[in-house]
Homo-oligomer: A and B are copies of this chain.
Amino acid sequence: MPGIALSELAPHDRYKLLCGVVVPRPIALVTTLDENGAVNAAPFTFFNGFSVDPPLVVLGLQHKPDRSPKDTTRNIHRDGEFVVRMVDEALSNAMNACAIDFPSGESEVEAAGLATLPSVDVGVPRLAAAPFALECRRHVVLARSRAAGRRSAAASCPRRLVNKANMHVNIDAYRPIGRMFGNLYSTQRDTFTLTRESHAQWLARFGLATSVEEAQ
């Protein structure tokens, strides 16, 4: 079973491999407020509970390809508050719309036609659609330098599970299970696809012009 040195992969391949291996991931649809009071929403899957006493969740906020922070990151840094909305089957298309690369300042919540409600304890509204919302306050920020990864260790990836040419995981050979609660576990055999649109594709679908730079 050959090892792959994660630190030697290009970041994009490393992302693909880690996302293919660490499955299934819970989905947090995170709302924040921007500096003008507009509600921002974006899905994150480097997310989980971290402890219960005290109750903490952890959120891995990636950067944009140009290393600038995402809107969610900037808003949480400034404001310290965010609401995590869990995603159910009914919310999946709206969640996917919130993953579109809308320009900063343009509200994904409005674009996706999602209604909001006031939260109980934080200033950031929560999405009205079911199911659960976790109102959160920033507790600790971990900002890591890229150099921190230099000593990263190997991932063992059986040849039958990963195509090393493109880092695609063979899910039919992998058959991972997920943890629910109590005595309950889930297979990951019942899957579906959602295609993420670019902002230009989204505009085109509504017959809208995109910005001059994109249209040229």
Q: Is B55 a contact of A149 with CB atoms below 8 Å? A: yes
| The one of B5, B50, B131 that contacts A174, using a Cβ cutoff of 8 Å | B131
Pairs A–B under 8 Å by Cβ, sample size 16: A5-B121, A11-B52, A22-B26, A22-B47, A25-B179, A26-B179, A53-B149, A54-B148, A89-B177, A92-B185, A142-B142, A171-B180, A178-B186, A183-B193, A186-B191, A187-B190
In Å, the complex CA distance between A198 and B73 comes to 43
Q: Is A156 a contact of B126 with CB atoms below 8 Å? A: yes
- What is the chain B residue whose CB lies nearest that of A95? B177
Contact code string A82-101 (vs B, CB < 8 Å = 1, else 0)? 00001111101000000000
- What is the chain B residue whose CB lies nearest that of A142? B140
Prevailing SS type, chain A contact patch: mixed
In Å, the complex CA distance between A203 and B86 comes to 40
- What is the chain B residue whose CB lies nearest that of A155? B134
- What is the chain B residue whose CB lies nearest that of A67? B53
Chain B: minimal CB distance from A28 (Å): 8
Q: Is there a chain B Cβ closer than 8 Å to A115's Cβ?
A: no
Q: Is B46 a contact of A181 with CB atoms below 8 Å? A: no
Q: Is there a chain B Cβ closer than 8 Å to A133's Cβ?
A: yes
Q: Which segment of A30-38, A57-65, A104-112, A205-213 sits at the interface?
A: A57-65
Chain B: minimal CB distance from A95 (Å): 8
Q: Is B23 a contact of A25 with CB atoms below 8 Å? A: no
In Å, the complex CA distance between A119 and B1 comes to 10
In Å, the complex CA distance between A54 and B146 comes to 5
Q: Is B193 a contact of A185 with CB atoms below 8 Å? A: yes
Residues of B within 8 A of A6 (CB): 55, 134
